[in-house]
Amino acid sequence: MPGAHEVRPLTRTHELFLAAYHHNWDDGPRALLRILDDAACDRATALLIYWLTKPGFYQQFSSPEEVPDFARRDHALVRTIEERVVADRYPDVIAFDPTTHVATAGAIPAERGTIPPAMFRPSQGDLGADDLLGHKVGELKILEACSAGRLDEVSAWVKTGPDINAKIDGDLPLACAARAGHVEVVRFLLDAGADPKKRVGGAGQNTLQWASVAGRTDVIRLLLERGMNIDIKGQWSRTALHDAAFCDPAYWLSAGMEEHTRLLLAMGADPHAKDVDGKTPLALAEMIGNKPAAELLRAAMAAPRPAAKAGKAPAAKRTAKASRAPAAKPATTTAAKPAPKRSKSRGT
């Protein structure tokens, strides 16, 4: 019997599961549909894709027409998978329990609502999903070390010369450390060249957004000290403030998101920032029915915007004469620093 992480060779079904697990959600659902249409696709792969799509979000809409434009493709994908799994189209090959696996457990809603019971049932198989993932990746212990704050293990790994910004099992060491709030590990990885702007996960979030979702204030402060913009955008051009606003109101209150949202605003998060659909954090809060968040954000938007600091005027307001002026002499004049740049990344 082969041991864990020693499965050889990988079958087509195994490869499809791994492709789904490592899918970049910024690329849209086309590749996922090809996986689901493949004759070798099994039920574990279909369940994995389904729960990574966060189907609980769509229960608030009574018809496809009510779904926001940015989410309609994923909504169609959710419905397609439900129909096929309920019809027993996919066989059991890989053992996978979506309700307990680390990749999908967070997407299981407290109220199951209209989600078919078949979507919650584990798939059976001779090979477990974690064994398959471990066989393919071989570096899961690094993610565990980052999540646990074991700096000595992370340091030893970096000394072996890996690509520190390469995804491991669909995740990044820096994102793991940020979510867990291990500031020293985050600092070490940043010093080693980790890119906090890289996005991972089904929600396409960067390191600052992961730290924000987890309420890791110290990590956010460190990232800001390192020059990261608090309004940097992730998937669908959303900021950390968008993410904080777009929460179920019960969760928003019980999880301390009110305090966290106030903190983001105090740190300079822009309540006027717009996502790819032109929606502000306030608009998202209103859309999901989060009245407490909406009230807080409405007050923030009504407040006067802070005046521009000296030396920080936008380039567009400088005169042509000033732009042609000779360079300042180092001995007598200090050049003004340019205005901080905002991310131009767009979600799809």
- Position 321 in a domain: no
CB 342 within 8 A of CB 229: yes
Tokens (6 digits) for 324: 């042609």
Q: What is the DSSP string of 132-187?
A: HHHHHH--HHHHHHHHHT-HHHHHHHHHT---TTS-BTTB-HHHHHHHHT-HHHHH
Out of 228, 261, 287, a domain closes at 228
Co-location of 123 and 34 in the same domain:
yes
Q: State the pTM of this model.
A: 0.54
Do 56 and 96 fall within a single domain?
Answer: yes
Q: Does a structural domain hold residue 347? A: no
Res 229: pLDDT: 97
Query: Which of 183, 212, 228 finishes a domain?
Result: 228
> What is the reported pLDDT for 342?
34
Q: Clarify whether residues 216 and 180 are in a common domain.
A: yes
* pLDDT score for 200: 87
219 and 256 fall within a common domain: no
Determine, yes or no, domain membership for 332. no
Judge if 99 and 33 occupy the same domain.
Answer: yes
Contact 92, 123 (CB under 8 A): yes
- Evaluate whether 297 touches 282 at the Cβ level (below 8 Å): yes
- Specify whether 122 is located in the same domain as 33: yes
pLDDT of residue 326: 41
Confirm whether 348 is domain-assigned: no
Domain assignment present for 119: yes
Looking at the structure, tell me whether residues 72 and 159 fall in a common domain. no
Low-confidence residues of the chain, pLDDT below 70?
1-9, 134-139, 169, 202, 306-348
Same structural domain for residues 44 and 104? Answer: yes
Tens digits of residue pLDDT in 307-344: 654 433 334 333 333 333 344 443 433 343 333 333 33
Whether residue 315 lies inside any domain: the answer is: no
Please state at what angle helix 12-21 crosses helix 129-137, rounded to 10 degrees: 80
21 and 76 assigned to the same domain: yes
CATH number at residue 265: 1.25.40.20
Q: Are residues 102 and 26 in the same domain?
A: yes
Choosing from 90, 113, 131, the residue where a domain stops is: 131
Q: How many domains does the chain have?
A: 3
Specify burial of residue 51 (Cβ count, 10 A radius: 0-12, 13-18, 19+). Answer: buried
Residue 262 is assigned to a structural domain of this protein: yes
16 lies in the same domain as 127? yes
**Which residue range forms the structural domain that includes residue 193?**
139-228
Residues 237, 205 share a domain: no
Residue 8 CB burial class (10 angstroms; 0-12, 13-18, ≥19): exposed
Residue 328 lies in a domain: no
pLDDT in the model for residue 315: 41
